[in-house]
Chain A
Amino acid sequence: MYWFNGVAALAPLDQLGHYLHWHWLLISVANLIVIGIMVVTFIAALLLPFPGRRRRKENQ
């Protein structure tokens, strides 16, 4: 059984990666994106309102 016509992914990331070089720091774009998403997710988790506020006030 062949999925995706013999290709294992829609957009495989097999081509050589891009890297950012800034002074002593050398990081792949992929890793930078992952770390960036982590930081954004953390900040969003802190800031976004959590549902159920009215119910919590009623139970106080």
Chain B
Amino acid sequence: MRKKAFRPDVDAPKWTGGHTPYDIVKEGTIALLVVAILTIALATVFGSPDVPAVTIKRWSNMAPVDFAMTALSELNGTSGTATYGAPYNNQSVGQQLGPLQLAKWVGDRIPVDAANAFVIDPLGSLPNQAVLTTDLSQWKQASQTQRTSWLANYTKAAATMKFKSGNVNVAAYNAGPVSVLINDLTQMARSGALDQSLVTHAGFYTTDYTLPLLFIADGSYLGNLAEKQHLTGEQWGMMNETGSYPGQAWLWLYTFWYQVPPFSQSGNADVLVWGLMMALTALLLLVPFIPGLRSIPRWSRVYRLIWREHYGQDAPATPPRKPPRADPSASAAPVGVVSSDA
């Protein structure tokens, strides 16, 4: 008969040694009680964080210049959203994983026209605004060249933007309706109406916050709050939580790559890190089949601690003093080595 070599990192010897009584239901019950008590104790002592959400109303009231500048960037196509690429638009190729332009290939399935979605359409929903209505018409009837010229003039003057007496002040010339659009949008935001408009534009019931979140994230206010809480990428933010709460320690390796070259300096960092983490996850999944990696447990001899009682006694090949009880691992296995398919 052909002898099959025993592979210590793949095969396992059949257990012919002794068994001890084991109350699996009792063990599960005790575990449940212990976890429940520990959970109640931790929740009672530490609670959980609940930093209130940022609204566009709060943003525009606390940081009106930042809001107005963000609104301008949406209108002149320089904001993060306006230049994002897929899935929002095709203004950028987006990130590449080698030759793979994954986002671009999928396309803009969540189309967002920044200028219209964040500025023109919300303003158009306001009633009884004679001056604004005229300016909106002027904007819509203008050619792209004309709009670009207005925006360039306003953007240049916006370097000295001030918020005074409840209004956005920019000494801009030949900026057409842009001054009114930006100032009126800021007032709309400060009233809370913009929060509503960006959410209910598609209907009464909605649970999709794509537009207001993209808009808020295009500004600096949200990011500044996050930086105070150590939540930004450069601060290993993915692992962290607001306040002094423990965060997501299990994301340590994911966020680590963003801190080191080449990822820390690459415009493709996100897709590169994703690709790397997918590969590492595949490695973890396939450990049983990877020589070397699957041998580390045996080489490290940590198992000698786990099974020290077993290794301190007779080996399982010695006949047991009592007949073994029904062996839970025996019924489907052939006598001899229980091999894997690897």
Interface residues of chain A, those whose CB is within 8 Å of chain B, are 8-19, 24-31, 33-35, 38, 46-47, 50, 52-53, 55-57, 59-60
Provide the bound-state CA to CA distance between A41 and B309, in Å: 20
Q: Which residue of B lies closest to A28 (CB)?
A: B240
Asked if A13 and B244 sit within 8 Å, CB to CB, the answer is yes
Provide the bound-state CA to CA distance between A59 and B22, in Å: 13
Interface size in chain B (residues, C-beta < 8 A)? 39
B189 to chain A, nearest CB (A): 28
Asked if A29 and B305 sit within 8 Å, CB to CB, the answer is no
Provide the bound-state CA to CA distance between A55 and B20, in Å: 7
User: Is residue B275 contacting chain A, with contact meaning CB distance below 8 A?
Assistant: no
Asked if B243 and A14 sit within 8 Å, CB to CB, the answer is yes
Task: Beyond the given A14-B243, A26-B235, please list 6 additional residue pairs across the A-B interface where CB-CB is below 8 A.
Answer: A11-B46, A17-B245, A19-B230, A28-B239, A31-B247, A56-B309
Pick the contact of A12: B47, B309, B322 (CB < 8 A).
B47
**Contact residues in A for B30 (Cβ distance below 8 Å):** none
Provide the bound-state CA to CA distance between A29 and B245, in Å: 9
Provide the bound-state CA to CA distance between A52 and B230, in Å: 48
Asked if A30 and B309 sit within 8 Å, CB to CB, the answer is no
User: Is residue B260 contacting chain A, with contact meaning CB distance below 8 A?
Assistant: yes
Asked if B17 and A18 sit within 8 Å, CB to CB, the answer is no
Asked if A9 and B18 sit within 8 Å, CB to CB, the answer is no
Provide the bound-state CA to CA distance between A57 and B17, in Å: 11
**Contact residues in A for B320 (Cβ distance below 8 Å):** 60
Chain B 237-263 interface mask (CB, 8 Å, partner A; 1/0) = 001111111110100100000011000
